[in-house]
Amino acid sequence: MNKLRHMMNPLDFSVEELEELFDLAGEIEKDMDSYAHKCDGKILATCFYEPSTRTRLSFETAMLRLGGKTLGFADASNSSAAKGESVADTIRVISCFADICAMRHPKEGAPMVAATKSSIPVINAGDGGHQHPTQTLTDLLTIRSLYGKLGDFTIGLCGDLKFGRTVHSLINALSRYEGIRFIFISPKELRVPDYITEMLTQKNIPYEEVIKLEDVMPQLDFLYMTRVQKERFFNEEDYIRLKDFYILNKEKMAKAKVNMYILHPLPRVNEISVEIDDDPRAAYFKQVQYGLYVRMALILTLLNIK
């Protein structure tokens, strides 16, 4: 029997395993039709205890494009969680219905608890401010596809580096590749957590923290923009004060390299002006497409379907 595997953190897969996953995603990109029946008869459950559009629909599309079916809930108030059921019990029940489960939860670690009780693969689709591994796989595949390799670049991460789980997950994952320099661009209140900078220092990975985006723009090969995470703020006043701290516009883009790429996990609020959308350096909608390929590849890998 094959060993049951989950995806809780991008580091759950070795660099070599990720390469295989990205190669498979590349094959899917080239010829999606030849994967249309790989998951015939399989069911994906999406258990979303927190709002999502892109991630949930991306998972559902991935399974449908593989020929499988989906079920689940997009709102915890419509599930037994509202009656007080634990995620541990929910996953035991879901294990009887589905072959694989994608779970998003506002509490850090909840999908991990589910995984320990599950008899089907569980994918963490975002847990609180902690990790968002499939967004990270999306980001890595996008970088690899656009830049040709995962390494030897300077990446600026800008916006809410304190609460943004996609940022935490991505830094973690990139820390295994060579020649990467991080520039963290945020207001003081939204700095990247200390545990992350400590990890980088320990691994001798260069990073810099700045407040002004314009000052570092010319150095960047990638600019990863993020929205200020309203739902994780303790008070509304702070959110209002910080929400429009960065707005990427044409004037700022004039300072960027001609071959820099702008990434964003989406949803965008005001942090990227729509006037940038037609700039050839804007890669955030392409990123959504890569997210579909990589989720298809992940479902196949975790279900051990060749």
Residues that bind ligand NCD (CB under 6 A): 54-55, 126, 132, 135, 165-166, 227, 265-267
CB of 123 closer than 8 Å to CB of 275: no
Q: Minimal distance in Å, beta carbon 129 to ligand NCD?
A: 9
Cα gap 107→127, rounded to integer Å:
6
Which of residues 55 and 118 has its CB atom nearest to ligand NCD in the complex? 55
Q: Minimal distance in Å, beta carbon 161 to ligand NCD?
A: 12
Which of residues 68 and 159 has its CB atom nearest to ligand NCD in the complex? 159
Which of residues 205 and 283 has its CB atom nearest to ligand NCD in the complex? 283
Which of residues 111 and 205 has its CB atom nearest to ligand NCD in the complex? 111
Which of residues 16 and 236 has its CB atom nearest to ligand NCD in the complex? 236
- Token pair for residue 280? 């050839």
Burial status of residue 41 (CB atoms within 10 A of its CB: 0-12, 13-18, 19 or more): exposed
274: number of Cβ within 10 Å: 9
Q: Minimal distance in Å, beta carbon 46 to ligand NCD?
A: 13
Burial status of residue 84 (CB atoms within 10 A of its CB: 0-12, 13-18, 19 or more): exposed
Which of residues 143 and 205 has its CB atom nearest to ligand NCD in the complex? 143
Phi first, then psi, for residue 233 (nearest 5°) are -85, 145
Phi first, then psi, for residue 282 (nearest 5°) are -75, 115
Q: Minimal distance in Å, beta carbon 55 to ligand NCD?
A: 4
Q: Minimal distance in Å, beta carbon 125 to ligand NCD?
A: 8
- Of 281, 280, 263, which is closest to residue 157 (Cα–Cα)? 263
Q: Minimal distance in Å, beta carbon 135 to ligand NCD?
A: 5
Cα gap 221→156, rounded to integer Å:
8
